[in-house]
A and B are shown apart, each in its own frame.
Chain A
Amino acid sequence: MSDYLLKAVDINKSFAGVKALQGVSLEIKPGEIHCLAGENGCGKSTLIKVISGVYQPDSGYIEFDGKRYSQITPLGAIAMGIQVIYQDFSIFPNLTVMENLAFNTELAAGHKLVNRKRMRKIAEEALSKINFDMELDRLVGSLTVAEKQMVAICRALMFNAKLIIMDEPTTALTKKEVSALFEIILKLKAQGIAILFVSHKLNEVFEISERFTIFRSGKLIVTGDTRELDDKKFSFYMTGREFENEKFKPSFESQGNVLEVKNLSLTGAFEDISFGLRRGEILGITGLLDSGRTELALALFGIRQATGGQILKDGSAVTIKSPRDAIACGIGFVPEDRLSEGLFLPRSIGDNIIISEIDRLTKGPSVLDRKACQAEIDKWVRELAIATPDPNNASSTLSGGNQQRIVLAKWLACKPDILILNGPTVGVDIGSKHDIHKILQRLADQGMAVIIISDDLPEVLENCSDLIVMKGGRIVATLDPGETDENTVLSHMM
């Protein structure tokens, strides 16, 4: 018997000539919480799929519980006690919690008829394993993301799992929910279950894991004890680059507010919001998911209409009823959800960049000036260092960080006075995140007014010149990021 529950040794895997994994190894001890980190495209997901039997490795082998396997099938992996919880949880939104929990067991047992009593019993047992309380008859579609995740975890536990792999489980969770999840993970550990926690968030790695492994470009970079890791090393291992974290200090001199919001309200979302913003400033707005921060952004951009209060641009009141009105006022908006709000994924990078300013790139009445379009596209691809061989490629071919740069380029091309960003670095790798912060600071120094809405506290503390904390639709604190810390901000948020 070895000391390790799982040993993946010297795994190689290529797709159509692209080496996704090059001789990587991973070792997990029984009952340990192991963190697998790395930027997007580094091979994390590929390795998970090799371990869970979805992909067959080109070479290398896997040892599980002392037995050596050169190939694993998905069913074999489940039988061995390996469970994967994917980002989308693979649960049925149109069924109830009970049905979701009992589904696999019922299928495996070959029952052809539905027996609700039996299903209820199976489901109750599953929930009791992590002392989790939930109404069994609720539709899964109506649950919050965190609750759905719990259902997925419970389901995973029903198969006597020895190793649970969680693929970026915290992506869509609020701070509170993340803490709840971590408690569950610790409970699982106490039951002797090993957890492979996949993440690229530094603070999570520190908080939960005992050991870590970092991949970069399909290669194993480092593996070791989390205690020996710090911020700087982590970023370096992840990206191969050294970053100096510069705190933003406004340098652009300006007088008077470019944007002023007075007692702005939207029934059911936020109330009595007032703040002013000068050119060259970066204003941070933070709060929990239900604090009204997103609705405030949408109201400033005209997607939703405020029901009361005033918005003043350069001192004069404006009405913003549609995104067009907002653009006319010089407001740009990088939305929260890149996939459904920010980016036309199947369309070309170029088209995505010019769509918002397209009415200006014409000669005569609305005939496209193709030279001007191309010039504009080339300019922004260069300026924001969007990594693409050809701007005619679909946006979906790029990584999260590069996609976010496209959205940014789209708005910078409109030359806004005020740029509002809702979660500017969600789902973006560390390197790009750093670059995006630099870009925002540079824009502010050139005289743009920037609003960053984010619940990533290090992000707002580092980049903002002012910080507003929202809770329950109201402003509860206005802080100076230079003189406060994460815990103070958190105490206002909660």
Chain B
Amino acid sequence: MNAVKRIYQRDRHIFRLIVMIVAWMIFMAITRFDKFYTVVNFQTMAGQFPEFGLMSLGAMLCMITGGIDLSSVGIANVTSILLALFMNAQAAKSESGDISVAMIALVFVMAVCIGLVCGSINGLLISKVKIPPILATLGINQLLTGVCMVVTGGNAVSGLPAAYSASINNKILKVVPGKRGTMQGLIPVQLLFFVVAALLVWFLLMRTSYGKKLYMMGTSENVARFSGVKVDRMLIKTYALSGMLAAMGGMIMLANYNSARSDYGNVYTLQCILIVVLGGVDPKGGRGKISGVLLAIVLLRLLETGINRFPQISSYYITLIWGAVLLLVMVLNYFEDHPIVKRK
């Protein structure tokens, strides 16, 4: 009980997110225990959320600077489409009609590079040309989506080499008993990508001078400039990082859908912003923890999957519930910052 109290006192926001997750888990346990609490269900969730989870991490970094990144989905799609075409071309050239593991590794390096370039353009527009982040990233998003449409003619790129999806959309640690005595993997590969990225972002924020400067700059760009922080370079770095994370998200999408199209993941643009705000990052910048964002990602995934277990509830309600949860958290935050003083 004391531990609970400590968490509450240290960070009420995170405490509330935990309470909501626990409450929802209990609710699901009472109503749909056998359909919700299965290994497969949790594996499915863990395979899905890294798509937008990776983008949310990038969005969080940008929001800590006091900016916003609306180009994640555009970057993700341009990455997945270009690399899907590349892999198809490579597979066509090879004799086996498939690609090697080394080729998959190369593809990921290329993905990171594409994300780096796109994100850096965002950063340059924001820091050097002084375009407000919301407009710069929205513009880049439109531009990249346009590139995707022109390249694909609006069609999906499919028929990917089997090796790609087989290695990314897969599970490792074969301990779960499957059919006919075989063993199946426990942990989805997509989750590994996400965990590595999350650890990296945590390390950057909490343990490096970059992280410290990022929070300071988000608090006041002007003071940071007067303190000798290279504000322009910090902004370019941050948006580049966000671009790289978005590109990784695109690669996960490519594996999950086994195809790429210019309008995949459109809802993620706003969903990422919702997650970041829900996770307690201050839209004005300077404040926010990765733990909050992680909890928000998990909460949203649990909510959506949980609701899907009730066939009588239309999936249209999911949007409604997300909106309600977001508003509830914001209202609670408001009252935390402005406590109601009881008059005598």
Cβ–Cβ < 8 Å partners of B211 in chain A:
368
10 contacts between A and B (CB under 8 A): A303-B226, A323-B228, A326-B228, A335-B226, A341-B223, A345-B220, A351-B216, A366-B210, A367-B209, A368-B207
Residues of B bordering A, CB below 8 Å: 207-213, 215-216, 219-220, 222-230, 286-287
B226 touches A358 (CB 8 A): no
Distance, CA A354 to CA B87, complexed state (A):
48
- Number of contacts between A and B (CB, 8 Å)? 70
Cβ–Cβ < 8 Å partners of B212 in chain A:
351, 354-355, 358, 368
**A327-B228, A356-B227 are contacts. A346–B219 as well, Cβ < 8 Å?**
yes
A303 touches B209 (CB 8 A): no
Whether a CB of chain B sits under 8 angstroms from the CB of A105 is no
Whether a CB of chain B sits under 8 angstroms from the CB of A210 is no
B60 to chain A, nearest CB (A): 18
A355 touches B229 (CB 8 A): yes
**A359-B209, A367-B208 are contacts. A342–B216 as well, Cβ < 8 Å?**
no
Distance, CA A342 to CA B230, complexed state (A):
16
Distance, CA A1 to CA B209, complexed state (A):
68
Cβ–Cβ < 8 Å partners of A341 in chain B:
222-223, 226
**A342-B223, A361-B209 are contacts. A322–B230 as well, Cβ < 8 Å?**
yes
**A347-B215, A358-B213 are contacts. A323–B227 as well, Cβ < 8 Å?**
yes
Whether a CB of chain B sits under 8 angstroms from the CB of A46 is no
Instruction: Encode contact with B along A333-352: 1 for CB under 8 Å, 0 otherwise.
Output: 10100001111111100010
Residues of A bordering B, CB below 8 Å: 301, 303, 322-324, 326-327, 333, 335, 340-347, 351, 354-356, 358-359, 361-362, 366-368, 410, 414
B208 touches A366 (CB 8 A): yes
Cβ–Cβ < 8 Å partners of B220 in chain A:
340, 344-345
Cβ–Cβ < 8 Å partners of A346 in chain B:
219, 286-287
Cβ–Cβ < 8 Å partners of A355 in chain B:
212-213, 216, 224, 227, 229
B225 to chain A, nearest CB (A): 6
Cβ–Cβ < 8 Å partners of B229 in chain A:
355-356
Distance, CA A368 to CA B209, complexed state (A):
6
Cβ–Cβ < 8 Å partners of A327 in chain B:
228
Distance, CA A345 to CA B224, complexed state (A):
12
Cβ–Cβ < 8 Å partners of B207 in chain A:
367-368
Cβ–Cβ < 8 Å partners of B208 in chain A:
362, 366-368
Cβ–Cβ < 8 Å partners of B213 in chain A:
355, 358
Given contact pairs A301-B226, A341-B223, A346-B286, enumerate 6 new A-B contacts (beta carbons under 8 Å).
A323-B227, A340-B220, A347-B215, A347-B286, A355-B224, A356-B229
Nearest opposing residue in chain A for B282, CB measure: A346
Distance, CA A241 to CA B223, complexed state (A):
34
Distance, CA A354 to CA B215, complexed state (A):
13
